[in-house]
Structure 1
């Protein structure tokens, strides 16, 4: 791997916009004119119009647009506007004026931070020909303290427009900082590759290691070189590359070839030597953008679906993931421990399950690992909540098939209701209930967590996912989504909020009458929203804490409400006693038959009654109109015959 210059086809930018700023008199305009004309100008206007350098000016074949600016206070708004559109900033000082050098750290660099200009900065010392040679101070000595304080400085360079010294290099470095930025690849403080860069290079290494022996053979290394740089490696070059690695990193080469350690070492070496274009060319050839994520055109297009459709993994994707699980279960204990999960996702930009809603959403083994059911459950949850992220991560971990064959969009729930059967394999259940009703305890029990007497109020939505084995059917994935009491109003403010809900469960503390009343209020609110929006959902009432004595009128009240609304009587459960009364199977069964268990409010019944009366009235009007027309026609026939006979 000897590297090469980048090329335009691998770059996403059509042009690079460089804004030149600095104190008055530091040589900004002369620098720009000299770069464009390749000669020092005799007369320079106070402020230049935008200056264009053609695509063939530099090897990357990307044109530059250079913007001159004024540092006068009356032009401050224009300066701010131009900085907001900059891809890179060239910040100038005069080599013969120490005051302009001091102003870099006392004004200009803090000002760029204040304006939130988050682009590479190239510091340029102009008028090198005027510097006093009697006070020799190296550029490194001058700039090192400033670069330590302002990490946004990409590089520093001195130039002379008059003597044509390093003028083209100024804008080459500016363009290079945009097209081949250091920040995403390398940590300057630790002098190491950044984690996301390591993850991307590891994925590339694995893709190029065709025989999966953990090393790039000479043939694989040559294939890699041809793919990235359109030129083969000579045998002597391969020997030279491996010799360099082995001298610095003995474990970077083994009997099979260049190891991952050696591959990463080479890229760190390129970057340290300023050859960032080599690593960027490799990354871009394998489809990565400047954020070191796969470019959008390599990922599936946004999945089109109606609000009441969901997305699931196909059998093909599940089989792939099952194989991946076995591959990364290094110790063969039937579970992926955290380190094994991290290793599995080590070729993705980051592990997708490190934060909510996925963290702590699935059942763990006694040693804290994920069983295959827990592993597949988390994938099902990610596919349900964020299909694009799920597909992207499938690709990152090695799925090579057609992404379109990895997922399926389910049938609309409205059609499921008409057909009286759902074909879904993943069901989302919204869990409603007042405070301290037992919602969190139910979710915890679903993923195998022990019961706790300590009450902790839930303030944010939380998910729990697991596989459920229904009677007489294949396993289904159930996603429980806890809706905190304070979030109900916000949820129902969205007309389509229930579109993603396959079934809703309403918990109440069976020993507390006020808890029951609030649960029924929530039931009415949700049912009313479903009737109004057209996204009616099956509902179940759960009488939690069945180990406690029920309040006196519990049976009477619950019977009345369930009968009035046309749904099943409350299902008693006790998480404390582990008496679940098959609640999770019953949730799945109700979700599989979406035409049943749909509550009706009084308003809904009145609306239906009114519609029936209206339809009946229209029918009578139609029949009456038909009779009138028939009568009128008969009269006309009778009158016609009468006139004829007379």
Structure 2
């Protein structure tokens, strides 16, 4: 039985032309008898939880088909979990009205729930009419929301209970997420989920489920073992239809997928849904949200999430397993295969498209692979957790991640312990920001300007002088988005170090960059999230402008900063900029600039602290004096 504990009841709305048998159908299912003197519209009718095997009650809502009641009909349909549309078997025009009026009307109402087509008054059906399948095939092809079609007779009690069973089943065990009716195949997301489940159950990793593994799977999902004869029967059915579905070791992945397609084709969707839900999937065939709440990623704005050494070692093994040609890189198809047990590749988002190191053939290197995981974990740790689960990460997930120390504490202790460092890259248009990002991951210089409209990322492993390797994330902040970014108080909280890039041959570029530096520094001072900053004088090959040189030297002296670092990405001269960024992030207290306002505030704080010290000392002296005076009085009194 499927896990339906999160669904308290199923609401089914019954609609259709007047006189098609809506009310009679409802009374018949509720009382097991054919009604007489039926009212125009029934009050809500409830089928109790024990009425159907899934033990979920069904609330049935009758509706009026009168034009003046259209508003109420629409309101009820919008609250429905499923809609039953009725026609009268003895009135063909009511069947035609389903496709000409009722189904389009539901679409106009934006009602997107399963629809059950029900032919009432089966006892009055003519023997010369087409079969149900012949009549319904064209309609079902046009309206994919139709879940199933059925004919019934309230008078004869024929398939009355089945109508609402199918409606309930369409809600609890929907077809659409699992099966493509038109292609008659499992949908890709369903295949990916079942593949992950297969791999979890294939304990000996031989690519097949042995009899023992099949039995364990059956017990886990259905709480009942399989008899040896049943296992033999399952494998025989698969072998007859699909020889490659079974081998000497047992049921293959191909056979496992075939079985589930067979279940669905035969209307046994609850079987596949039970399996999926037992392994943590929701109705969208994704892992349920509650599975992604542990470990907790609650943290302060200036804390980050990193992968632990254990997780990195697991990812190294995964990389090796999917690097089938052993060239030290994953081709796009190998990356797709690696994430074939997830709903999709987590790196389909644009920000990951060209952010890490690749080889000359476009393959993702091991450093690039681990760097992209570090970036994903930094940006969206829940997404990282989900995809570790999709890759069947072994053991306790709490051991997969670590929350870093607050940056404020790093500054006080004058040392960062982080393994992943984030650098915000500021600068005006055409200053060379994008070229810097490309240089980090070894991309060749491109002498073609393209304005960056959204934040871009680049990530790579950097080995600082005399230290262990760190992963450096460069986040290019579009100049158009700086004001929007600084509207947030904690905008700089995720930033370990900031680089301000300017075209050293262009005085205006320097002026714009110095303005950005002042804005960012002032924001850091006012918000309490000060960050170390480095100036990057780009395009050194063009010849620096004299005024920019002198002005930048003055600004650096005034703000207590290191002199600008000259680079020429075009000539391949990076002047160790990436190591220097990592060093500045690791020793943040050395490179935090100060504005005049910030300097005055620091001076004010120092004066206040000194005053407090003086007051404290004075108070202590007074206390000691009073105590001494009391001792003196006591001695004097005793001597008298």
TM bucket (normalised to shorter chain) is over 0.9
In structure 1, C-alpha distance between the alignment counterparts of 2:166 and 2:507, rounded to whole Å: 73
The answer on 1:281 being equivalent to 2:274 is yes
Given that 2:521 and 2:530 are in contact with CA atoms closer than 8 Å, whether structure 1 keeps it comes out as yes
Match of 1:512 in 2: 506
Cα distance change, pair 252–629 in 1 and its aligned pair in 2 (3 A): closer
In structure 1, C-alpha distance between the alignment counterparts of 2:500 and 2:533, rounded to whole Å: 8
In structure 2, C-alpha distance between the alignment counterparts of 1:595 and 1:103, rounded to whole Å: 76
Match of 2:637 in 1: none
Match of 1:398 in 2: 392
The answer on 1:585 being equivalent to 2:579 is yes
Given that 2:4 and 2:172 are in contact with CA atoms closer than 8 Å, whether structure 1 keeps it comes out as no
Aligned partner (choices 242, 258, 263) of residue 249 of structure 1: 242
Q: Deviations over 1:257-299 (max 9, x none)?
A: 1111111111111111111111111112222111111223333
Single out whichever of 166-175 and 88-97 deviates more from structure 2: 88-97
The answer on 1:120 being equivalent to 2:114 is yes
Cα distance change, pair 80–239 in 1 and its aligned pair in 2 (3 A): same
The answer on 1:209 being equivalent to 2:202 is yes
In the TM superposition, residue 23 of structure 1 has moved relative to its aligned partner by: 2.5
Single out whichever of 99-108 and 204-213 deviates more from structure 2: 99-108
The answer on 1:556 being equivalent to 2:542 is no
Q: Deviations over 1:26-83 (max 9, x none)?
A: 2222211111111112232222222111111111121111122223344333333322
SS in 1 for 2:84: strand
The answer on 1:165 being equivalent to 2:158 is yes
In structure 2, C-alpha distance between the alignment counterparts of 1:187 and 1:565, rounded to whole Å: 64
Given that 2:427 and 2:502 are in contact with CA atoms closer than 8 Å, whether structure 1 keeps it comes out as yes
Match of 1:472 in 2: 466
Match of 1:446 in 2: 440
Given that 2:4 and 2:54 are in contact with CA atoms closer than 8 Å, whether structure 1 keeps it comes out as no
SS in 1 for 2:117: strand
Match of 2:570 in 1: 576
SS in 2 for 1:505: strand
In the TM superposition, residue 622 of structure 1 has moved relative to its aligned partner by: 8.0
Match of 1:544 in 2: 538
Given that 1:90 and 1:174 are in contact with CA atoms closer than 8 Å, whether structure 2 keeps it comes out as yes
In the TM superposition, residue 95 of structure 1 has moved relative to its aligned partner by: 2.3
Match of 1:147 in 2: 140
Match of 2:383 in 1: 389
The answer on 1:228 being equivalent to 2:221 is yes
In the TM superposition, residue 238 of structure 1 has moved relative to its aligned partner by: 2.2
The answer on 1:95 being equivalent to 2:89 is yes
In the TM superposition, residue 612 of structure 1 has moved relative to its aligned partner by: 4.2
In the TM superposition, residue 98 of structure 1 has moved relative to its aligned partner by: 3.1
In the TM superposition, residue 613 of structure 1 has moved relative to its aligned partner by: 4.8
Given that 1:10 and 1:281 are in contact with CA atoms closer than 8 Å, whether structure 2 keeps it comes out as no
Gaps of 5+ in 1: 1-5, 637-646
Aligned partner (choices 455, 460, 474) of residue 461 of structure 1: 455
Aligned partner (choices 44, 55, 58) of residue 61 of structure 1: 55
Q: Deviations over 1:540-599 (max 9, x none)?
A: 110011111111212211100111111111100110001000000000000001222111
Cα distance change, pair 232–630 in 1 and its aligned pair in 2 (3 A): closer
Aligned partner (choices 177, 194, 203) of residue 187 of structure 2: 194
Given that 2:541 and 2:571 are in contact with CA atoms closer than 8 Å, whether structure 1 keeps it comes out as yes
Gaps of 5+ in 2: 631-640
Cα distance change, pair 96–339 in 1 and its aligned pair in 2 (3 A): same
In structure 2, C-alpha distance between the alignment counterparts of 1:631 and 1:330, rounded to whole Å: 84
Q: Deviations over 1:88-141 (max 9, x none)?
A: 11122222333332222222212222222221111112222333x164122222
Match of 1:600 in 2: 594
TM-score by length of 1: 0.93
The answer on 1:307 being equivalent to 2:301 is yes
In structure 1, C-alpha distance between the alignment counterparts of 2:224 and 2:629, rounded to whole Å: 97
In structure 2, C-alpha distance between the alignment counterparts of 1:424 and 1:613, rounded to whole Å: 34
Given that 1:528 and 1:604 are in contact with CA atoms closer than 8 Å, whether structure 2 keeps it comes out as yes
Q: Tell me how large the CA RMSD over aligned residues is.
A: 2.5
In structure 2, C-alpha distance between the alignment counterparts of 1:612 and 1:219, rounded to whole Å: 74
In the TM superposition, residue 231 of structure 1 has moved relative to its aligned partner by: 2.5
Q: Deviations over 1:343-374 (max 9, x none)?
A: 11111111111222222111111111111111
In the TM superposition, residue 630 of structure 1 has moved relative to its aligned partner by: 11
Match of 1:644 in 2: none
Cα distance change, pair 548–14 in 1 and its aligned pair in 2 (3 A): same
In the TM superposition, residue 618 of structure 1 has moved relative to its aligned partner by: 6.8
Q: Deviations over 1:144-167 (max 9, x none)?
A: 221111111111111121221111
Given that 1:94 and 1:125 are in contact with CA atoms closer than 8 Å, whether structure 2 keeps it comes out as yes
SS in 1 for 2:119: strand
In structure 2, C-alpha distance between the alignment counterparts of 1:605 and 1:615, rounded to whole Å: 15
In the TM superposition, residue 624 of structure 1 has moved relative to its aligned partner by: 8.9
TM-score by length of 2: 0.94
Given that 1:205 and 1:263 are in contact with CA atoms closer than 8 Å, whether structure 2 keeps it comes out as yes
SS in 2 for 1:357: helix
In structure 2, C-alpha distance between the alignment counterparts of 1:207 and 1:610, rounded to whole Å: 63
Match of 2:317 in 1: 323
Q: Number of residue pairs matched?
A: 635
In the TM superposition, residue 191 of structure 1 has moved relative to its aligned partner by: 1.0
